[in-house]
Chains A and B, each alone.
Chain A
Amino acid sequence: MSNATLKELSANLAAGACSSVELSHEFINKINNLNKSLGCFITVDAERTLVQARAADARRAAGSAGPLTGVPLAHKDIFCADGWLTTCGSRMLSNFVAPYDAHVVQRCNDAGMVTLGKTNMDEFAMGSSNETSYFGPVRNPWNLETVPGGSSGGSAAAVAARLAPAATGTDTGGSIRQPAALTGICGLKPTYGLVSRYGMIAFASSLDQAGPMARTAEDLGLLLNVMAGHDPRDSTSLERPAEDYNRDLARPVAGLRIGLPKEFFATGLTPDVQRAVEAAITEYKKLGATLVDISLPNMELSVPVYYVLAPAEASSNLSRFDGVRYGHRAAEYTDLMDMYKRSRAEGFGAEVKRRILIGTYVLSHGYYDAYYIHAQKLRRLIAQDFTKAFKQCDVIMGPTSPTTAFRLGEKSADPVQMYLSDIYTIAVNLAGLPGMSIPCGFDGSSLPVGLQIIGNYFDEARMLNVAHQYQLVTDWHQRTPPGVK
């Protein structure tokens, strides 16, 4: 049963073929067997999981079950979950038991979904390989010597290894899409503002967005239906009527205009990734889609712009971690200033400190205009490129990541090499657009390749439709890593 999709699990629960308690036991046993080698989960708590599972079974018996009642999932450890250790992958929060639920967690709980545990991640979501976690790296189930991507690496690897049928993730510069691509699963970053950020530990607030990670496009829609919705506690949460994101799955893609930005197929893209992505686009052509050559001329500036704006927002957001009200406090200090400085020096890892220093520097007196304001102006140019492009096409396609999964440690020495892993995903966050990644093939080393699909604002249902139609005629999304059943 652990190889079933959300849709199949939902049907099995509804038909009485299994109970939520049975399902939960099956996943917990798998996690207990495999987590040591994969490192997907920071926290599992079987008793807590089973309390939810029993409640879900009782709710079903009482006739008030929803589509996902009793279905287990994993939450990225960036989401506060009442009573659960919530670390954000950091020593700073290694003792932080959340006193409340994030909106996303609350909505999943209200739907009757069952929390299997909290997944590993790059510290404070800053990373593209899951190697910056205080709790150790996550390994890619397709090859244990390679990274799963990041920052939602634990969620991605857990779904790929069938330790959870779906998981939540967050995406500030590619942190859902890139790990989804590197582990051969599906991931969707919704339009900014669709999913509440309440209780989601902030990295860069104008870019952070939560989304679903699962095995199929249809499953992404089922989970997004639960996760999305207005929340007055997040001032950027949009007030929009509820929608069924799977309503258009059956729509044919004949006539779909696919924009292919020339910048997505330029230098830096590895030949195996290019071949797989082009094959996927050929498949769409066979289904009747038309291809449109487009250009996003400012896209190559998205990485430098991002590494001004995201660290600037992070340096402000992470100033709250001071060792006073919660989190790590240094054991020894001379005065209050020394307590702040030592607690933060000990509590944060190298990458987080690096980004706080970048952000502090670009916001400091004398540099603010040259860096921060300059980057905000370029952000507008990057967003305008997309507005122009969507006059010519319905969706944009290209690679999610320039490479497949790289080896652990391969990019650790040079931060810039690591940052360039997100060259195709970052612009989408800067513009606030929805983007997703679906599996579309393998490289010569049998590592998965992801196809990125970018939609216009609020076009999630159309994107899921486009992805679903591809998954009806291909089976990349059904492949499992070696030894995984």
Chain B
Amino acid sequence: MALTLDDVRRAAHLARIAVDDAEAAGALAQLTLVFGLIEQMQAVDVSDIAPMSHAQDLVQRLREDKVIEGNQRAQFQKIAPEVEGGLYLVPKVIE
């Protein structure tokens, strides 16, 4: 199945990455090469195999329900692009 320019534009939108026409065309050429490699997977029948998401079979640990970290807002906001009054600023979302 051949990848199309629309596929690239749709993935770029979902990934929130701006691409112009030239970039989308370039990405299509490179991704077509990569998917040529990836398609080799389809030669193997895996219908009876359970998916493996992780190397270790772990269960999520629970920790005690108590406060372990203090408020570090000022420290974290020192490296923020734009803050005001302890809030992170972004363009207006709701009119």
Say whether chain B's binding surface is mostly helix, strand, loop, or mixed: loop
Stretch from A248-256, A298-306, A475-483 forming part of the interface with B: A298-306
Contacts A232-B61, A380-B50 given; indicate if A357 touches B27 (C-beta within 8 A).
Answer: yes
Tell me if B22 is interfacial: C-beta within 8 Å of chain A.
no
**Cα distance A392–B53 in the bound complex, in angstroms:** 26
Contacts of A370 in B (CB 8 A): 42
- Chain B proximity mask over A304-335: 1 for CB below 8 Å, otherwise 0: 11011000000100010011111101000111
The B35-87 residues at the A interface (CB cut-off 8 A) are 35-42, 44, 46, 49-56, 58, 60-61, 63, 72, 75-76, 78-82
Q: Let me know if B55 and A192 touch, CB within 8 A.
A: yes
**Cα distance A432–B75 in the bound complex, in angstroms:** 36
Q: Let me know if A342 and B27 touch, CB within 8 A.
A: no
One of A334, A354, A373, A376 near B34 (C-beta < 8 A)? A354
Contacts of B2 in A (CB 8 A): none
Tell me if A282 is interfacial: C-beta within 8 Å of chain B.
no
Q: Let me know if B17 and A344 touch, CB within 8 A.
A: yes
Q: Let me know if B14 and A376 touch, CB within 8 A.
A: no
Q: Let me know if B80 and A326 touch, CB within 8 A.
A: yes
Contacts of B35 in A (CB 8 A): 358
- Chain B proximity mask over A334-347: 1 for CB below 8 Å, otherwise 0: 11111111101100
Say whether chain A's binding surface is mostly helix, strand, loop, or mixed: helix
Tell me if A99 is interfacial: C-beta within 8 Å of chain B.
yes
The A120-158 residues at the B interface (CB cut-off 8 A) are none
Q: Let me know if A301 and B52 touch, CB within 8 A.
A: no
Q: How far is the CB of A393 from chain B (nearest CB, A)?
A: 20
Closest to A329 in B: B81
**Cα distance A283–B17 in the bound complex, in angstroms:** 52
Contacts of B58 in A (CB 8 A): 193, 235-236
Tell me if A96 is interfacial: C-beta within 8 Å of chain B.
yes
Tell me if B19 is interfacial: C-beta within 8 Å of chain A.
yes
Contacts of B88 in A (CB 8 A): 324-325
**Cα distance A323–B81 in the bound complex, in angstroms:** 7
One of A323, A344, A371, A432 near B55 (C-beta < 8 A)? A432
Q: Let me know if A353 and B17 touch, CB within 8 A.
A: yes
Q: Let me know if B18 and A345 touch, CB within 8 A.
A: yes
Q: Let me know if A206 and B54 touch, CB within 8 A.
A: yes
- Count class of interface residues, chain A: 35 or more
Contacts of B14 in A (CB 8 A): 360, 364
Tell me if A361 is interfacial: C-beta within 8 Å of chain B.
yes
Tell me if A348 is interfacial: C-beta within 8 Å of chain B.
yes
Interchain pairs with CB closer than 8 A, number: 165
Contacts of B72 in A (CB 8 A): 99
Q: Let me know if A375 and B91 touch, CB within 8 A.
A: no
Q: Let me know if B91 and A307 touch, CB within 8 A.
A: no
Q: How far is the CB of B24 from chain A (nearest CB, A)?
A: 10
Q: Let me know if B46 and A324 touch, CB within 8 A.
A: no
Q: How far is the CB of A201 from chain B (nearest CB, A)?
A: 14
Q: How far is the CB of A434 from chain B (nearest CB, A)?
A: 11
Stretch from A4-12, A18-26, A110-118, A414-422 forming part of the interface with B: A414-422
**Cα distance A362–B38 in the bound complex, in angstroms:** 10
Q: Let me know if A375 and B55 touch, CB within 8 A.
A: no
Question: What are 21 inter-chain pairs, A to B, with CB distance below 8 A?
Answer: A99-B72, A236-B56, A238-B56, A301-B41, A301-B44, A308-B38, A315-B15, A322-B16, A324-B88, A325-B88, A344-B16, A344-B17, A348-B17, A356-B15, A361-B3, A371-B38, A374-B41, A376-B53, A380-B49, A381-B44, A433-B55
Give B residues with C-beta under 8 Å from A: 3, 7-8, 10-12, 14-19, 27, 30-31, 33-42, 44, 46, 49-56, 58, 60-61, 63, 72, 75-76, 78-82, 88, 90-93
- List 9 other contacts, CB 8 Å, given A236-B56, A360-B14, A378-B49: A99-B75, A235-B60, A300-B40, A348-B17, A357-B27, A364-B14, A373-B51, A377-B49, A415-B34
